[in-house]
Amino acid sequence: MAEATTIHLGENSPEHVAFKLMASIANNEGKTLTGANASADRRWILSTYAECLRTVRQAAYDPK
């Protein structure tokens, strides 16, 4: 019987790396993303994730 192949969809995709980068930035800035005491609001999460995604997808990113 053949062994089952494990497929990890999304791991190391640009979106996944951007999410991990956003979580790292949130931690560094003292923000929590989940739970009753979440300190990051929707605007912060979406704009930070978008910036992280641009950074991951571009070879050179110039924050303006």
Assess if residue 44 is contained within a domain. yes
pLDDT score for 8: 58
How many folded domains does the chain comprise? 1
Assess if residue 52 is contained within a domain. yes
C-alpha–C-alpha distance, residues 33 and 39, integer Å: 7
**Tens digit of each residue's pLDDT, the chain (64 residues):** 566 766 656 678 888 999 999 999 999 999 999 888 889 999 999 999 999 999 988 866 566 6
pLDDT score for 62: 65
Assess if residue 4 is contained within a domain. no
Q: Quote the domain boundaries for residue 56.
A: 10-28+38-64
Assess if residue 3 is contained within a domain. no
Q: How is 14-52 classified by DSSP, letter by letter?
A: HHHHHHHHHHHHHHHTT---SSTT----HHHHHHHHHHH
C-alpha–C-alpha distance, residues 12 and 9, integer Å: 9
Assess if residue 23 is contained within a domain. yes
Assess if residue 57 is contained within a domain. yes
pLDDT score for 58: 87
pLDDT score for 44: 96
